[in-house]
């Protein structure tokens, strides 16, 4: 009897030691927290006056919401500490705009890609444009230590042993791009998405050439036998892409990144200083009355007239907000060339267009469609949405509607809809330009308060809602 008892106890201990551990996905749900290491960067995670934004922040937040937990974002002092945070288990995974490179795959495993980039050699416009990578030998080339850029340069060095660069520990790509702007260094390497966002504000940055083939960006997980959380992330990203939501989010951050050329940006910044002060009080007063961000109104006004109150188009629209006679009469605008009346009338007209957009469409898509309708007319916008639906797209997503608006200029398509022919590419460029101008106004406003002729500044609301 005693031997049987001992045997039974040993069996229990053996079974307990061989028990299957709780899957990581369940443990994350039980803890209510998803630990993710990222980095502070315009392409990943950044703080604004209205809260946190960034592509990685948004994607991770959606994933955490699907799991029913809260995301906890972790940061490292240097870029090359990101992957060790993953391999050590301090973070469940990294969402930091990481390229899935061969060198990194030996340390971590990557999910499906959600975006593709190339590595680009960047220089200042006053510097002689390099034609090949060895042209950098006459200047200073700096990259982020532990980055995919340093990994790529090491590969190139195998073919060109004379290639030299400096790897910096305590900086990120954004800071190195700023050093190029300030001409403190001659060259750097950055991902194409980072360059696109930086060039909106610094048109003096120039791209010499790509130094890599397109590379996928993905989330980095540790190599482990427990695939539960990794598989959940794979499923989430696949579903996000299939639904069209991923394209919509990427468009939100990058859809307008290259809408303005260097000359457009320079001219706009000059007009901010020279023209805007005379009218900013009116934009802010219109913002008070309508709830529309005054900087968005100013961006629309600039796209319409370059803030010229006497502007007249060949079709007869006039003033800063380029109102038609019919619209001006309906809005009670007595003089379309009166800046105050034009701006206030234009702001109210924007609200009228917005009211026609189906309420089920969320912002910012509703905002972009409102602007497109302001430009081309609500009827033509509806025609484009019908074409989008006919061709299997989602008529409630701007990223899909903007691809179908240009069809309104083609006979085979405009003859099948109610309002006929229209120059459908114009509202697409119109919306993207306004988004670009708005971002520049916010950037300038954050650097220093934009002056007004009289009066004082007022708080503004988010441009994502009207």
Active site residue ranges: 304
**Which stretches of 275-363 are DSSP H helices?**
280-290, 294-305, 325-331, 339-356
Give the Cα separation of 208 and 408 in Å (integer).
37
Which helix (H) or strand (E) segment holds residue 141: the answer is strand 141-144
Give the Cα separation of 78 and 87 in Å (integer).
16
Residue 265 exposure: Cα atoms within 13 Å on the Cβ side: 21
Residue 343 exposure: Cα atoms within 13 Å on the Cβ side: 30
Give the Cα separation of 322 and 344 in Å (integer).
12
Give the Cα separation of 309 and 343 in Å (integer).
10
Q: Which two tokens stand for residue 281?
A: 């009080």
Q: Which residues pair with 121 in a beta bridge?
A: 189, 209
Helix 228-243 / helix 245-254 crossing angle, nearest 10 deg:
80
Give the Cα separation of 98 and 191 in Å (integer).
10
Helix (H), strand (E), coil (C) string for 384-419: HHHHHHHCCCCCCCHHHHHHHHHHHHCHHHHCCCCC
- Annotate 349-393 with DSSP letters as a single string: HHHHHHHHS-TTSPTTHHHHHHHHHHHH-HHHHHHHHHHHHHTT-
Whats the size of the chain, residue-wise? 466
Of 107, 185, 114, the closest CA to residue 151 belongs to 107
């Amino acid at each position: 009897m005693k031997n049987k008892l001992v045997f039974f106890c040993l069996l229990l201990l053996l079974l307990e030691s061989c028990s299957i551990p709780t899957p990581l996905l369940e443990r994350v749900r039980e803890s209510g927290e998803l630990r993710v290491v990222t980095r502070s960067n315009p392409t990943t995670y950044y703080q604004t006056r209205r809260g946190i934004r960034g592509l990685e922040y948004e994607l991770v937040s959606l994933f955490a919401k699907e799991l029913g937990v809260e995301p906890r974002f972790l940061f490292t002092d240097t870029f090359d500490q990101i992957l060790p945070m993953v391999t050590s288990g301090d973070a469940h995974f990294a969402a930091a705009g990481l390229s899935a490179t061969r060198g990194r795959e030996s340390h971590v495993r990557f999910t499906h890609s959600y975006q593709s980039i190339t590595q680009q050699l960047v220089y200042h416009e006053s510097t002689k444009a390099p034609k090949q990578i060895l042209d950098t030998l006459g200047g200073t080339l700096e990259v982020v230590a532990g980055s995919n850029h340093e990994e790529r340069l090491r590969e190139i060095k195998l073919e060109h042993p004379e290639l030299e660069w400096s790897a910096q520990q305590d900086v990120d790509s954004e800071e190195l791009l700023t050093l190029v702007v300030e001409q403190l260094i001659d060259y750097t390497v950055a991902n194409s998405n980072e360059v696109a966002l930086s060039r909106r504000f610094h048109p003096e940055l120039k791209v010499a050439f790509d130094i890599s083939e397109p590379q996928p960006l993905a989330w980095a997980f540790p190599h482990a036998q427990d695939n539960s959380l990794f598989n959940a992330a794979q499923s989430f990203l696949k579903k996000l892409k299939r639904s069209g939501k991923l394209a919509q989010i990427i468009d939100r951050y990058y859809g307008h990144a290259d809408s303005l050329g260097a000359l457009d940006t320079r001219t706009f910044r000059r007009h901010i200083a020279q023209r805007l002060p005379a009218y900013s009080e009116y934009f802010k007063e219109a913002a008070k009355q309508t709830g529309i961000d005054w900087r968005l109104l100013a961006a629309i006004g600039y796209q319409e007239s370059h803030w010229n109150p006497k502007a007249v188009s060949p079709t007869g629209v006039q003033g800063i907000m380029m109102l038609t006679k019919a619209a001006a009469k309906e809005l009670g605008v007595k003089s379309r060339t009166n800046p105050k009346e034009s701006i206030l009338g234009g702001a109210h007209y924007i609200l009228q267009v917005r009211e026609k957009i189906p309420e089920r469409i969320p912002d910012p898509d509703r905002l972009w469609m409102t602007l497109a309708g302001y430009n081309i007319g609500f009827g033509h916008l509806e025609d484009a949405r019908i074409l989008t639906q006919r061709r299997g797209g989602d008529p409630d997503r701007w990223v899909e509607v903007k691809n179908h608006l240009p069809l309104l200029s083609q006979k085979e398509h405009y003859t099948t809809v109610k309002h006929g022919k229209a120059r459908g590419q114009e509202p697409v460029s119109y919306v993207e330009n306004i988004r670009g101008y708005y971002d520049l106004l916010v950037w300038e406003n954050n650097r220093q308060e934009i002056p007004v002729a009289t009066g004082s500044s007022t708080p503004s609301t988010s441009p994502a809602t009207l």
